[in-house]
Amino acid sequence: MCGILAVLGAADWSQAKRARVLSCSRRQAPALKHRGPDWSGLYQCEGNFLAQQRLAIVSPLSGDQPLYNADRTIVVVANGEIYNHKKIRKQFASKHTFSTGSDCEVIIPLYEEYGEDFVDMLDGVFAFVLYDTRTKTYMAARDAIGVNPLYIGRGSDGAVWISSEMKALNEDCVKFEIFPPGHIYSSAPGGLRRWYKPQWFAENVPATPYQPLVLREAFEKAVIKRLMTDVPFGVLLSGGLDSSLVASVTKRHLIETEAAEKFGTELHSFVVGLEGSPDLKAAREVADYLGTIHHEFHFTVQDGIDAIEEVIYHDETYDVTTIRASTPMFLMARKIKALGVKMVLSGEGSDELLGGYLYFHFAPNKEEFHKETCRKVKALHQYDCLRANKATSAWGLEVRVPFLDKEFINVAMSMDPEWKMYNPDLGRIEKWVMRKAFDDEEQPYLPKHILYRQKEQFSDGVGYNWIDGLKAFTEQQVSDEMMKNAAKMYPHNTPVNKEAYYYRMIFERLFPQESARETVPWGPSIACSTPAAIEWVEQWKASHDPSGRLIASHNSASSNNANHANGNGKANGHCALMANGTNGVVVANGITNGKMEP
């Protein structure tokens, strides 16, 4: 992942202004240098500045930015991976002279050929700014789901500022906001417009039957195309379904790729956790099965607590679930980068697309189930995409997420949601459609008990004491009196518990602007649900803890797996809610039996 910064239409063209833009781009704090430690570049034309901090993954020796066309009348800075760049290069081989090996250079001939109507032709993730000196116009765009971060703001002189992170804007913009995923911003017609318009966006319930081989093929293609790299890489492996499938498909097809010619067919896998955590054990088992070179990183609760302020600085959020999950990932990313690895594949996005979170068990019907998956995917850029990108780019490590491939999303979201729903009578647990698609008897991708392992939230999977330790620590840092006055202190998105209050204090110190606090989503949540899904179960409305452990069908590592699905995908159907210490259990059909399970 790279970092970009553009200032467009500045009234000041002076050397001092150029130095300021360079400072915002290159400086370590606040700046974007951590995102791209390999090279810095800056273009200026009058009051227009385009800067980039590069993390070199593809063509490290020839892909420095900014990028130009032959007569240098079109300029681009980009943070992206364009997986179909070779196909596009062939298309324009006779019309365009390519001067670098950068995959992002194909943006230029596409623009020359199609104007601004080319973004949907890009297969990949990206955030870019293009300046056309001939017309003195510019455009910016962000990928479909928002895998790559982007912010937009206004300076006091009316200049438009666009940046990969808001820390490069917060001192120079009077107002800034998230650049929405799937959108273009153009100076020609002005304003934002959506370029990503899939059928599922309307949230109408699809009717396409489940086709396991179609789903499998789409995912395998998504993984294979993300093996485009000229640097050493690996996979993040928690031992859960999503990361295990990413690792399995990578291992199976690595030998077919150019990456194997450069780095061999050995695959490195990485996991982080507290001593004895569920993820460490499960990841080791999968790694042994696949034959990866496995790296296991341990951290303590104190290590995590000590890193919280840095995590909030890099993540630019005060969302509790995001910070909980980001901290172990942040610590692991530093270790991975120290080993010389610059890119990893990860499993984000599956739970949103397929209804994998345990609270989906309580969806009242397929219509509500599908609408919730749509809401979750649309919000990914503020949660898991933000976490995966920023917690790793803090150390100059790139994460690629095959589940959020455009074509795989189309397949997953066009499926009749009835197939995705939890149904113990039919032997279907969460993400059954993915499990069944990769349940190959002749050439197994994974052992049965791994293939049908129940979902762990990342922050819980690294060790249950991590969440408990955070709660105990923040309980000591925030007084009852402070909580009583929380609404007065923080009237916008008021913290509802001491952990949230503690994170908010740090965030406000780092990012005191009103615009900054407004970029963070807020609202009640159970096990990563949206606020709308809280309405599914009455007792959920009383809870102030978003942990996945609130759903009592969740199995601890020490349990006897009484509620765990077996190799045939069977589950016993018992799903309970622990709602803020109340004595109510809600089973899968929504009936309350009036007792708390231990």
Note every long-range contact of 94-100, with CB atoms under 8 Å and residues 24 or more positions apart, other chains counting.
96/69, 96/70, 97/70, 99/67, 99/68, 99/70, 100/59, 100/62, 100/63, 100/64, 100/67
For 130-178, the three-class secondary structure string (H helix, E strand, C coil) is: EEECCCCEEEEEECCCCCCCCEEEEECCCCEEEECCHHHCCCCEEEEEE
Pair 332, 269: CB distance under 8 Å = no
H helix count then E strand count, the chain: 21, 17
Residue 47 annotated as part of some ligand binding site? no
**Is 236 among the annotated ligand-binding positions?**
yes
Q: Which two tokens stand for residue 39?
A: 């090279």
d(C-alpha 190, C-alpha 181), whole Å: 17
Both tokens of 356, joined, read 């994998």
**Please, which residues bridge with residue 176 across strands?**
153
Backbone dihedral angles phi then psi of residue 544, each to the nearest 5 degrees: -115, 15
Which residue(s) pair with 77 in the sheet? 129
Check the annotation: does 205 bind a ligand: no
CB-CB contact of 104 with 142 (8 Å): no
Catalytic residue numbers? 2
The first and second tokens of residue 235, run together, are 């996979």
Which alpha helices (H) appear in 192-277, and where do they start and end? 212-225, 241-253, 258-263
Annotated ligand binding at 550? The verdict is no
385 contacts: CB under 8 Å, gap ≥ 6: 145, 146, 147, 149, 348, 349, 401, 404
Q: Is 272 annotated as a binding residue?
A: yes
- Are 267 and 250 in contact by the 8 Å Cβ rule? The answer is yes
Q: Are 147 and 385 in contact (CB under 8 A)?
A: yes
CA dist., res. 383 & res. 374, Å (int) = 14
Phi, psi of 193 (to 5 degrees): -145, 150
Q: Detail the residues annotated as belonging to a binding site.
A: 103, 236, 272, 346-347
Q: Detail the residues annotated as belonging to a binding site for L-glutamine.
A: 103
Q: Detail the residues annotated as belonging to a binding site for ATP.
A: 236, 272, 346-347
